[in-house]
């Protein structure tokens, strides 16, 4: 056992650090640090830069253009990227649908979709949740009825993150309404430009347009877009969710957020000295840092075990719970650190080019909204309560 990085791992860290410090555009880093809005182009620019270096699809097998990195290397990579203010990769394509296509897709599907994900030509979104199917995902009602070489899709998806940018959506649809809940579901790839698709924004409590509703009205989808077998889509869904969950610990983002918290608390004053030197506040910062360390070591342990034994197991549910809780705790402290400055809600302040007339620190515009936005962490990807059900069933066998 050795908790320290090996010389090779340290060398890798230096390599990543050297690359990211130069390659990451300053304007993108500044936006991320200050919590300003990122455009579609910002995300795509960064993706292209990574793709050119061969580092975009870190989780893919080498033969498909992946890196072949170890768990520790991936961790180092994510940490370095986040530390420099790189945007978090939008995972729907590269880290969600791609692993499913690689595992369950046909050769034609692999040949068609994987290069387009790598090049950024396709922007994917996720069609899982429905108005009546949240935590109880298997109760989804969107129907796909076979009609010759097509499926006719009718229904509604919701909470579709960044669906406004997407040209492709992967959907769970019901192909056999008579089968037991999880049996009659299929995994379909759908072109967002298909006639009959409507995307409508949902504005969240922070005023942001991040999620959408997607309506399907007699949308024709080629049967060739089915991944895996008809009515076996739940297998794909579960496989994808395990991958999603593993990434959801978000250690790198939490570390970057903690660094931001310390910087802000060092600049905000209370009683004539930095808030970070206030014993009560300092102890709270210390506590989240300690918790984060514990979660980081746990993440590495669990992922290392998963790498040795294949697919990450239900332990990833523990990481999802702990990782989301700590990220929320840090955002809570950052909001608190700002005192009254957390209150003003001037949406233009989140535009990078906006010349603010408020004489507040540039870092004070985003955190309160972010705090509310991040309540999503314990809700999506299987709510934390669902994760506890999974732990109880899969690990504890209760």
Residues marked as catalytic: 244
**CB neighbours (10 Å) of residue 224?**
12
Question: CB 11 → other proteins: shortest distance, Å?
Answer: 14
Question: CB 261 → other proteins: shortest distance, Å?
Answer: 10
Q: Which is nearer to other proteins, 366 or 386 (CB)?
A: 386
| CA within 13 Å, CB half, 48 | 10
The answer to whether residue 396 forms part of the interface with other proteins (CB under 8 A) is yes
Helices 71-83 and 279-309 pack at an angle, to 10 degrees, of 150
**CB neighbours (10 Å) of residue 97?**
27
Rounded to whole angstroms, how far apart are CA atoms 111 and 94? Answer: 14
Restricting to residues 18-77, name those near other proteins by CB under 8 A: 72
Mark residues 70-99: x for contact with other proteins by CB under 8 A, - for none.
Answer: --x---------------------------
Please say whether the dihedral angle defined by the alpha carbons of residues 365, 367, 369 and 373, taken in this order, is positive or negative.
positive
Question: CB 8 → other proteins: shortest distance, Å?
Answer: 11
Question: CB 382 → other proteins: shortest distance, Å?
Answer: 13
Determine the interface stretch with other proteins among 84-92, 128-136, 201-209, 380-388 (rule: CB under 8 A).
380-388
Quick one: which of 350, 377, 248, 258 has its CA closest to 302? Answer: 248
Rounded to whole angstroms, how far apart are CA atoms 276 and 270? Answer: 9
Instruction: Check: CB of residue 368 under 8 Å from CB of residue 334.
Output: no
The answer to whether residue 318 forms part of the interface with other proteins (CB under 8 A) is yes
Residues in CB range of 266: below 8 A, 6 or more apart: 274, 275, 276
Question: CB 309 → other proteins: shortest distance, Å?
Answer: 12
- Interface residue with other proteins, options 18, 269, 286, 361 (CB under 8 A): 286
| CA within 13 Å, CB half, 183 | 5
Restricting to residues 225-264, name those near other proteins by CB under 8 A: 259, 262-263
Determine the interface stretch with other proteins among 226-234, 249-257, 300-308, 348-356 (rule: CB under 8 A).
300-308
- Which residues sit at the interface with other proteins, rule CB under 8 A? 1-6, 9, 72, 259, 262-263, 266, 276, 279, 282-283, 285-287, 289-291, 293-295, 297-298, 300-302, 304-305, 315, 318, 321-322, 385, 387-389, 391-392, 395-398
């Amino acid at each position: 056992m050795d908790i320290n990085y090996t010389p090779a791992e340290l060398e890798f860290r230096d390599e990543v650090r050297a690359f990211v410090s130069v390659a990451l555009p300053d304007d993108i880093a500044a936006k991320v640090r200050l919590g300003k809005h990122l455009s579609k182009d910002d995300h795509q620019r960064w993706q292209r830069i990574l793709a050119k270096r061969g580092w975009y699809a870190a989780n893919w097998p080498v033969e498909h253009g992946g890196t072949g990195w170890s768990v520790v290397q991936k961790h180092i990579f994510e940490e370095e990227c986040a530390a420099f203010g790189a945007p978090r990769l939008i995972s729907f394509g590269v880290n969600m649908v791609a692993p499913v296509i690689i595992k369950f897709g046909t050769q034609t599907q692999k040949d068609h979709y994987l290069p387009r994900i790598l090049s950024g030509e396709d922007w994917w979104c996720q069609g899982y949740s429905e108005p009546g199917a949240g935590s109880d995902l298997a109760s989804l009602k969107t129907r796909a009825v076979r009609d010759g070489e097509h499926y006719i899709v009718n229904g509604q998806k919701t909470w579709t993150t960044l669906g406004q940018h997407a040209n492709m959506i992967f959907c769970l649809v019901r192909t056999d309404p008579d089968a037991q809940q999880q049996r009659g579901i299929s995994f379909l790839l759908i072109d967002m430009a298909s006639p009959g698709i409507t995307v409508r924004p949902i504005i969240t409590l922070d005023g942001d347009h991040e999620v959408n509703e997607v309506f399907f009205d007699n949308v024709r989808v080629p049967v060739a877009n089915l991944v895996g077998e008809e009515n076996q889509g739940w297998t794909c869904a579960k496989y994808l969710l395990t991958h999603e969950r593993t990434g959801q610990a978000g250690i790198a983002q939490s570390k970057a957020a903690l660094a931001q918290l310390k910087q802000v608390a060092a600049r905000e004053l209370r009683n004539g000295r930095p808030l970070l030197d206030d014993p009560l506040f300092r102890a709270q910062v210390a506590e989240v840092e300690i918790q984060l360390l514990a979660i980081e070591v746990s993440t590495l342990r669990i992922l290392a075990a998963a790498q040795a034994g294949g697919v990450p197991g239900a332990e990833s549910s523990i990481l999802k719970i702990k990782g989301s809780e700590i990220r929320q705790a840090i955002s809570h402290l950052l909001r608190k650190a700002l005192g009254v400055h957390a209150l003003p809600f001037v949406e233009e302040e989140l535009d990078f080019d906006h010349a603010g007339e408020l004489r507040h620190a540039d870092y004070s515009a985003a955190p309160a909204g972010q705090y509310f936005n991040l309540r999503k962490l314990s809700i999506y990807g299987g709510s934390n309560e669902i994760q506890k059900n999974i732990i109880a069933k899969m690990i504890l066998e209760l």
